[in-house]
Structure 1
Amino acid sequence: MQPARTRLRSLASWALIIALGLNLRPILSSISPLLMEIRGDTGMSFQSSAWLTSLPVICMGLVALLGVRIEARLGERRGVAMGLLMILGACLWRLMGQQAEVLLITALLGGAGVALIQALVPALIKRQFKQQVALALGVYSASLMGGGGLAALLSPVVAGHFSHWQAGLGVWLLPALAALLMWWLLPFAGFTPRTHGVSAHPWRNRRAWLLALYFGLVNCGYMSMVAWLPAYYLQMDWSATQSGSLLAFMTIFQVVAALVMPALAQRGTDRRPLLAVSLTAQALGFLGLVMWPLEAPHVWVALIGFGLGACFALSLILTLDHCREPRAAGQLAAFVQGIGFLINAISPWLTGWLREMTGSFISAWWVLIVGVVSMLILTRVFSPASYREQAAVEPQGSSVLSSNA
Structure 2
Amino acid sequence: MAEVLRAGASDALPRRAVWLLAVAFTALNLRPFLTAIGPLSGPIQAGTGLDLSAMAWLTLLPMGLMGVGAWCSPAVLRRWGARSTVAGALMVLALGCLLRWAGLEGGVLIASAAVCGAGVALVQGALPGIVKRELPGQVAPVMGLYSAALMGGGALGAQFSPWAVQQGAQWTAVLAAWALPAALAAWAMARVLPWARPALAAAAAAAAAAEGTGWLLRRPRTWWLMACFGLVNGGYASAVAWLAPYYQAQGWGAAASGGLVALMAVAQAAAALLLPWLAARGVDRRPWIWLTLAAQAAGFAGLAMAPGAAPAAWAALLGAGLGGCFALTLVLALDHLPDPAQAGALGALMQGGGFVLAGLAPWVVARLHGATGGFAAGWWAHLACIALVALAVAQFAPWRYALAMRAPRPA
How do 1:185-264 residues align onto structure 2 when only pairs under 5 Å count?
Answer: 185-187=191-193, 193=201, 195-196=204-205, 197-198=208-209, 199=211, 200=213, 201-264=215-278
Contact 2:263 2:315 in 1 (8 A): yes
Contact 1:13 1:188 in 2 (8 A): no
State the match for 2:3 in structure 1: none
Distance in 1 (alpha carbons) for counterparts of 2:398 and 2:156: 36
State the match for 2:142 in structure 1: 136
Q: Does 1:65 align with 2:79?
A: no
Distance in 1 (alpha carbons) for counterparts of 2:407 and 2:143: 21
The one-letter code sitting in structure 2 at the alignment partner of 1:310 is G
Corresponding residue SS for 2:104: coil
CA RMSD of aligned residues (A): 2.0
Q: Does 1:346 align with 2:360?
A: yes
Q: How much has 1:185 moved relative to structure 2?
A: 2.4
- 1:132-167 superposed Cα distances (whole Å, 9 cap, x missing partner): 100010000001111111100001112232441112
Cα distance 1:232–1:210, how it changes in 2: closer, same or farther (>3 A)? same
Q: How much has 1:218 moved relative to structure 2?
A: 2.1
Q: Does 1:90 align with 2:96?
A: yes
Q: How much has 1:237 moved relative to structure 2?
A: 0.5
- 1:20-48 superposed Cα distances (whole Å, 9 cap, x missing partner): 10111112111111111111111111011
Q: Does 1:12 align with 2:18?
A: yes
Corresponding residue SS for 2:394: helix
The one-letter code sitting in structure 1 at the alignment partner of 2:321 is G
State the match for 1:42 in structure 2: 48
Q: How much has 1:193 moved relative to structure 2?
A: 4.3
Corresponding residue SS for 1:381: coil
Distance in 1 (alpha carbons) for counterparts of 2:201 and 2:160: 38
Contact 2:83 2:194 in 1 (8 A): no
Corresponding residue SS for 2:17: helix
How many residue pairs are counted as aligned between the two chains?
393
Cα distance 1:188–1:72, how it changes in 2: closer, same or farther (>3 A)? closer
Corresponding residue SS for 1:236: coil
Distance in 1 (alpha carbons) for counterparts of 2:136 and 2:380: 40
State the match for 2:5 in structure 1: none
Q: How much has 1:359 moved relative to structure 2?
A: 1.2
Contact 1:145 1:254 in 2 (8 A): yes
Q: How much has 1:362 moved relative to structure 2?
A: 0.4
The one-letter code sitting in structure 2 at the alignment partner of 1:80 is V
Percent identity over the alignment is: 40
Cα distance 1:362–1:229, how it changes in 2: closer, same or farther (>3 A)? same
Q: Does 1:75 align with 2:99?
A: no
Higher mean alpha-carbon deviation, 59-68 vs 106-115, is at 59-68
Q: How much has 1:189 moved relative to structure 2?
A: 10
Distance in 2 (alpha carbons) for counterparts of 1:82 and 1:357: 42
Cα distance 1:307–1:360, how it changes in 2: closer, same or farther (>3 A)? same
The one-letter code sitting in structure 2 at the alignment partner of 1:231 is P
For normalisation by structure 1, the TM-score amounts to 0.93
State the match for 1:274 in structure 2: 288
Q: Does 1:27 align with 2:33?
A: yes
Q: Could you tell me which runs of 5 or more consecutive residues in structure 2 were left unpaired when the two chains were aligned.
A: 1-7
The one-letter code sitting in structure 2 at the alignment partner of 1:179 is A
Contact 2:31 2:151 in 1 (8 A): yes
Cα distance 1:91–1:65, how it changes in 2: closer, same or farther (>3 A)? same
Distance in 2 (alpha carbons) for counterparts of 1:370 and 1:300: 17
Distance in 2 (alpha carbons) for counterparts of 1:343 and 1:55: 11
The one-letter code sitting in structure 1 at the alignment partner of 2:337 is C
The one-letter code sitting in structure 1 at the alignment partner of 2:359 is A
